[in-house]
């Protein structure tokens, strides 16, 4: 199952174009969320993958690409399945992805806010 996430991104108090998608694979145990900010002065992409099962911890991998000239960064963490469940907790994964985007862009020296559209969660709940 695939779809688009609707979100609003402000960088230094200016609206930025953002393209976000999600995809569930692996029988629904793997959720990938990708957000691209294609602005010329801040072209970045964040890809977050959540792999989990009710009998395991959830493994989260965040891959940050850009801005141009900057080395790609990747990190993985484990979270309790009850705290971050890619099978039935798409909302929590979307918020985690948004927070990772905020942290990554803030580390570049920008002020950023990300607002997820409530319609996004209606789509997630239909899939779950």
Q: How does pLDDT run across 97-120, given as a tens digit for each residue?
A: 999 999 999 999 999 999 998 877
63 pLDDT tier (thresholds 50, 70, 90): very high
Q: What was the pLDDT predicted at 126?
A: 53
Contact 53, 81 (CB under 8 A): yes
Q: What is the DSSP letter of 28?
A: G
Beta strands in 52-83 (DSSP E): 58-65, 73-79
* Residue that has been written with the tokens 């609206």 in this structure: 15
* Mean pLDDT value across residues 61-79: 96
Residue-averaged pLDDT of the chain:
91
If pLDDT is split at 50, 70 and 90, which confidence band does 127 have?
A: low
Distance CA 74, CA 26 (A): 22
Report the distance separating Cα 125 and Cα 75, nearest Å.
28
- The domain ranges of the chain are 2-127
Contact of 8 with 115, CB cutoff 8 Å: yes
Give the model confidence (pLDDT) of 20-36 as tens digits: 999 988 877 999 999 99
Q: Are 128 and 31 in contact (CB under 8 A)?
A: no
């Amino acid at each position: 199952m695939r779809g688009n996430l609707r979100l609003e991104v402000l960088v230094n108090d200016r609206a930025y174009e953002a393209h976000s998608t999600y995809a569930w694979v692996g029988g629904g145990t793997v959720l990938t969320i990708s957000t691209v900010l294609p602005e010329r002065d801040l072209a970045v992409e964040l890809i977050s993958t959540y792999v989990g099962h009710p009998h395991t911890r959830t493994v989260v991998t965040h891959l940050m690409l850009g801005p141009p000239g900057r080395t790609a960064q990747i990190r993985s963490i484990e979270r309790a399945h009850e705290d971050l469940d890619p099978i039935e907790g798409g909302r929590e994964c979307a918020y985690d992805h948004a927070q990772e985007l905020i942290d990554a862009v803030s580390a570049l020296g920008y002020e950023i806010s990300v607002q997820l559209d409530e319609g996004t969660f209606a789509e997630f709940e239909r899939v779950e």
